[in-house]
Chains A and B, each alone.
Chain A
Amino acid sequence: MGTSGAKRDVASGRLPARQYEENFADLHPPLGRHPAMVEADRCYFCHDAPCVEACPTDIDIPMFIRQISTGNPMGAAETILKQNIMGGMCARVCPTETLCEEVCVRETAEGKPVKIGMLQRHATDVLFADGKQIFTRAPASGKRVAVVGAGPAGLSCAHRLAVLGHSVTVFDAREKPGGLNEYGIAAYKSLEDFAQHEAAYILSLGGIEVVTGKRLGSDLSLERLRGDYDAVFLGVGLGTVRDLGLEGEDLEGVIDAVDYISDLRQAGDLSSLPVGREVVVIGGGMTAIDIAVQSKLLGAEEVTLVYRRGQEQMNASGFEQDLAQTSGVKITHFAQPARLIGEDGAVRGIEFERTRLGGHGRLEGTGETFTLAADVVFKAIGQIFVPGGMANGGDGVRLEDGRIAVDGEGRTSLGDVWAGGDCVAGGQDLTVAAVQDGKAAAISMDRALRAQSPTRSRDTGG
């Protein structure tokens, strides 16, 4: 079973130096001008197009594709960014196969949607290469807003607020802005430091100050922010990955997948990362797929992704599942972790119990077990919201299902506090959804701020 005999094998530099660059090249290399023109011509310029409806940020997709086809990619980028300031990142990370491209009429017609994501990338690449500022700010409103979290939700909110004339301070606990764009997205989706380029473009508008290394809950308090600013937006994302609830989770080699990916994204040299020879990933979502694929690309010999339910129930899209399989990841369905097997304080294997769907689709164990050898076990069974500093008792925001409760405009239970992105209840946990939340909240905040009496001032407490 591998739990005895051979020694635990975790090593860095498993691959020849050149191999890393090849393995972590662009997942979808950008379309050149000609392929982009050909692809753009496939768009029918639908009326009231289904793809627009399917895009959480309502990008006018037929219009931007038409702009590409007329040789106006800058105009196309403007159409995109007007609705979605992270249109560049979204073009790289959106699961388009379950969003805009799923409902493309050419998917209906011939099973081949227009490559909307790739065209969006083409247009936004042209703009970012040029660097042209396409937004202007409305006259200063005199209002100050604090945004907590510089992820997609926070930056989107801050940008829209700044466009509308408000002055914004963004606080983030980490060193760099971008949130999971910088620390979470798979490395082969966002190359060449794109998250930082995009953040810089967003901030180049002016009116947004970013303060990094400040954590709400320890360095900042919600109460204080509410006192110092006219309104507050919370876009703090999620905290740690859920525990397996098994004995031995503190064994060496039982790792939070999101933490590891963050190290990977920040590693200057991928060959310096420790990689197990036999890797087991537990989970069925995007994070599970990403850690499995990237482990494989880093040189792990054997990567098994184990999910407790069936293929159809996996959160990861069909495309992501295929990507895992073609990358050499073995996917095992209907098995849940039962016991971690350790040796000298480090993990050596993991025992699973086979599961099945019982009555009413409820998952039940079958009692049958099997064991997989593992040098590393990645936990990727979903992240949880850590409400520290935000929901402490009666002063904080109300929670719902463990995340922040908001209404349709992103308002929390506190009149001057909005929230959006992964940290709110009922979301999709996608970059694009976070961008939309931030934008919608900014519009709602703007309305509220303008309705406020102009005499309200921080000093009098309001």
Chain B
Amino acid sequence: MTDLRSDFVGIKSPNPFWLASAPPTDKEYNVVRAFKAGWGGVVWKTLGEDPPIVNVNGPRYGAIHGPDRRMLGFNNIELITDRPLDLNLREIKKVKREWPDRALVVSLMVPCEEGAWKRILPLVEDTGADGIELNFGCPHGMSERGMGAAVGQVPEYVGMVARWCKQNTRMPVIVKLTPNITDVRNPARAAKEAGADAVSLINTINSIAGIDLDTMAPDPATDGKGTHGGYCGPAVKPIALSMISEIARDPETQGLPISGIGGISNWRDAAEFMALGSGTVQVCTAAMAYGFRIVEDMTEGLKNWMGEKGYTRLDDFVGKAVPSVTDWQYLNLNYIVKARIDQDLCIKCGRCHIACEDTSHQAITQTKDGQRYFEVDDTECVGCNLCVSVCPVEGCMTLERLTEGADPRTGKPIDPDYANWTTHPNNPNRVAAE
């Protein structure tokens, strides 16, 4: 039997799919609908001190669309909750009581003073919530007031606030990191050092969705002016994966539980985040684009895939891909591949040819016996994967490893042994090979 139950720093949920702190988790009504739909948990929309903040009355969202208007990237300038603290707390308490099996984490953002945190923590504890998430990520608006990303960008502040929280509550503390930073390992290290139970990432990335060429203002704009917002959705997934991998394989933060966030739209995305070490995953944009029902496919899809692979519990594969992430310098330079075209699948669009011809290594010919026919010239192919990337037919183009003889491009015999840059003769700083 495949078991999707998750235990993340003691926070239990029937599946690892949580809704990220955002509009989908802004109030009882949404959260109850989400739980009914099957979400394993939520991180409640970030609470702040009273009086509540105000949002702009103009547009909050902008989007990057594919040609068929599928939303590829999403931009927002919404602030934290604009509802009174007490109202949120009452609803949280009620929902947790009515849905005891679901994870209910409360996101918090108050000024960088210990007193402020000391005031809010007992109020949250009183709701029976399972844990707190510290919003050090919000890149717009709140950061101008010294909160959100303004804290997340300074590892010392991250550590300081995390420590206050650990000292003032028994609830597990998750630190939500901002990606708007040069090296995400530093705030993660600070969080761990301060005793945080976990980190979650990524929050949104500074962004301007576009410029309206008629009005010459950002699009969307509020009364003719725009400000940067936070970018999320499918477009940010690769950035999130990379940041998560950095934390997962950093010796200083290894083993620190991670809740993965950023562009997760389906079970496959989720499985990838988990393979890189995320114990749970959080979703915002996909739910905002399609509604809560997408969780059905997420749970079923993950279950089916786990069944196929013989994984029975999440722990069977969480972190499994981490050891495969390494530095460039350790990649095997004796690994030689050549592009291959499956002629039965080839539809003769010629895109591999023109890509390689114009921008790569002139390694794909376009005619054979006067006919339109695409073929790889092994004496030129460097195995870069460009052609495979542009080929519109899945599985038509692949890279094949050469294991015998010589590389037709260099004439050098294929060396079956592993050798990397650190020992390469062209490396001025090489170390002697063993």
Q: Kindly state the separation between the CA atoms of A338 and B235 in the bound complex, as whole angstroms.
A: 71
Does A105 contact B349, Cβ atoms closer than 8 Å?
A: yes
Indicate if B428 sits at the interface (CB-CB under 8 A): no
- State the Cβ distance, B248 to closest chain A Cβ, in Å: 36
Q: Kindly state the separation between the CA atoms of A162 and B353 in the bound complex, as whole angstroms.
A: 39
Give chain A interface residues in 377-402, CB to chain B under 8 Å: none
Q: Which residue of B lies closest to A71 (CB)?
A: B67
Does B366 contact A47, Cβ atoms closer than 8 Å?
A: yes
Contact of A38 among B68, B348, B354, B372 (CB under 8 A): B68
Contact of A46 among B67, B68, B69, B351 (CB under 8 A): B351
Indicate if B392 sits at the interface (CB-CB under 8 A): yes
Residue numbers in A under 8 Å from B347 (CB-CB): 105-106, 108-109
- How many of chain A's residues touch chain B, expressed as a range? 10 to 19
Give chain B interface residues in 245-301, CB to chain A under 8 Å: none
Indicate if A45 sits at the interface (CB-CB under 8 A): yes
Does A37 contact B68, Cβ atoms closer than 8 Å?
A: yes
Does A49 contact B350, Cβ atoms closer than 8 Å?
A: yes
Indicate if A459 sits at the interface (CB-CB under 8 A): no
Q: Kindly state the separation between the CA atoms of A49 and B372 in the bound complex, as whole angstroms.
A: 10
Most buried by A among B68, B351, B372: B68
Does A47 contact B67, Cβ atoms closer than 8 Å?
A: no
Give chain B interface residues in 329-351, CB to chain A under 8 Å: 347-351
Give chain B interface residues in 353-374, CB to chain A under 8 Å: 353-354, 366, 372
Does A69 contact B349, Cβ atoms closer than 8 Å?
A: no
Contact of B67 among A37, A50, A106 (CB under 8 A): A37
Interface contacts (Cβ under 8 Å), in number, total: 41
Q: Which residue of A lies closest to B355 (CB)?
A: A47
The dominant DSSP class at the B interface is loop
Give chain A interface residues in 72-114, CB to chain B under 8 Å: 105-106, 108-109
Q: Kindly state the separation between the CA atoms of A430 and B372 in the bound complex, as whole angstroms.
A: 27
Does A47 contact B393, Cβ atoms closer than 8 Å?
A: no
Q: Kindly state the separation between the CA atoms of A109 and B68 in the bound complex, as whole angstroms.
A: 20
- State the Cβ distance, B387 to closest chain A Cβ, in Å: 12
Indicate if A224 sits at the interface (CB-CB under 8 A): no
Q: Which residue of B lies closest to A35 (CB)?
A: B68
Residue numbers in A under 8 Å from B66 (CB-CB): 41
Residue numbers in B under 8 Å from A319 (CB-CB): none
Given contacts A47-B366, A48-B366, A109-B393, contact A38 B67 (CB under 8 A): yes
Residue numbers in A under 8 Å from B67 (CB-CB): 37-38, 40-41, 69
Indicate if A370 sits at the interface (CB-CB under 8 A): no
Most buried by A among B349, B372, B393: B349
Indicate if A34 sits at the interface (CB-CB under 8 A): yes
Give chain B interface residues in 208-254, CB to chain A under 8 Å: none
Q: Kindly state the separation between the CA atoms of A46 and B366 in the bound complex, as whole angstroms.
A: 12
Q: Kindly state the separation between the CA atoms of A40 and B348 in the bound complex, as whole angstroms.
A: 19
Give chain A interface residues in 24-65, CB to chain B under 8 Å: 34, 37-38, 40-41, 44-50
- State the Cβ distance, A45 to closest chain B Cβ, in Å: 7
Residue numbers in A under 8 Å from B351 (CB-CB): 44-47
Q: Residues 412-437 of chain A: 1 if any B CB is under 8 Å from the residue's CB, otherwise 0? A: 00000000000000000000000000
Residue numbers in A under 8 Å from B372 (CB-CB): 48, 50
14 contacts between A and B (CB under 8 A): A37-B67, A38-B68, A44-B349, A45-B351, A46-B349, A46-B351, A48-B354, A48-B366, A69-B67, A105-B347, A106-B347, A109-B347, A109-B392, A109-B393
**Smallest CB-CB A-B distances: 8 pairs:** A47-B350, A41-B67, A47-B354, A105-B347, A46-B349, A108-B347, A109-B347, A105-B349
Given A46-B348, A47-B353, A47-B354, 6 new contacts (CB under 8 A):
A44-B351, A44-B392, A46-B350, A47-B350, A105-B347, A108-B347
